[in-house]
A and B are shown apart, each in its own frame.
Chain A
Amino acid sequence: MAALLGEVSWFCCGSAWGPCGTAGGGACGTCRSGNYQHAWPNTSDACLAITRPDACGITGMSRRGCGFRHYTTNLCNGARIGTTIADCGPQTDLFCGERTCCGSACGSNRIIDLTPAAYSVIASLSTGLRPCSVDTV
């Protein structure tokens, strides 16, 4: 898979407090906020029917199952994190065309959500959204 450019955000899962308390273990049943894990929009036909990255014109988003490794780079600072698939998401089609930039480094469309443990390695949780690239090596 060639590196995919887009946007990264974060989500909670597993045992949690507050509004996250109902999050559960995700589509794979293994998701934990404290683990290096992520949600991917194409984990199955059922997942893809919900996330619909094609609706935003995204091609090349490979089908990957639970436990598959991706590496996400924050384009604002070059920080990189390796994570495994634990859930289906983000719901890409709900934000088609959305664009996030840090200076001239930009990403369009939501392609990956990281757990808080993973996102906080590459950015502050208070940023909420960052341009990123995602690859498999």
Chain B
Amino acid sequence: MHQTLDRRRLLATAALGGVVGATGLGSLAPEAAFAADAVAVEPGMPDPNFAEGRISKISGNMLLVTGSDTVLHSIRITDGTSIWKLHPTTFDRVAVGDGLYARGVRLPDGTLAADSVWVNIVNLHAHIASVGRNVLHLDHKGQRIVAHVVTGRSAAVYNGTPAVSDMSLLRVGRHVQVLGAWHPDTNEIDIATVYAAA
């Protein structure tokens, strides 16, 4: 995985090199990106190469993101950026209002050149309140979450066994971890993977 991230970072910075050639923005040189990556972060401290928040505007290949702490982020999507939105996807599937986590390289101008962007991703610990046709109703910290089973995508992992599409072993009252994608401004998610104890 680390090798994959390194390769992705190389691709991202290489793509930025293309931007340099196209726009003449010297601050986006690949060397600057790698230099920025060398910053070490102390345990407990915020990571300048990470951002979270909701997309307030999309302009060209830039995402303008308002952090949950109200800090504003400019996130640049490059040809090397990996985008996840329930599954690996493309930039055109990203929308204003989506939530995200992003990791990349903070450039001298403050822009985050993204290696990876996880759109609307949630990782919830919940109890199953009820099971319907292609839907789970979850209790999550006092909130009701409607979790949709997506045919061909949603999978269940029962006690560490290989992922399967069969959700029939999920039982009301059981504790689960649900990795999925949030539907913005609702209490609904699409299920990527449900982890359930046996």
Contact = CB atoms under 8 A, between A and B. Distances in A.
A78 B123 contact: no
A9 B101 CA distance: 16
A17 B54 contact: yes
Interface residues of A, number: 55
Interface stretch (B21-29, B43-51, B128-136, B164-172): B43-51
A91 interface: yes
B92 to A, nearest CB: 19
Contacts of B7: none
A34 B2 contact: no
Given A36-B45, A124-B116, A116 B160 contact: no
B1 A123 contact: yes
Q: Give the size category of B's interface with A.
A: 35 or more
A9 B50 contact: no
B68 A15 contact: yes
B189 interface: yes
Contacts of B69: 14-15, 32
Contact of A125 (B53, B101, B142, B184): B101
A10 to B, nearest CB: 6
Given A120-B101, A126-B84, A126-B179, A94 B197 contact: yes
Interface of B: 1-3, 41-47, 50-54, 67-69, 82, 84, 99, 101, 103, 116, 118, 120-125, 140-143, 145, 159-160, 175, 177, 179, 182, 184, 187, 189, 192-193, 195, 197-198
Interface of A: 9-12, 14-23, 32-37, 67, 69, 74, 76-79, 82-84, 86, 90-91, 94-101, 108, 116-118, 120-129
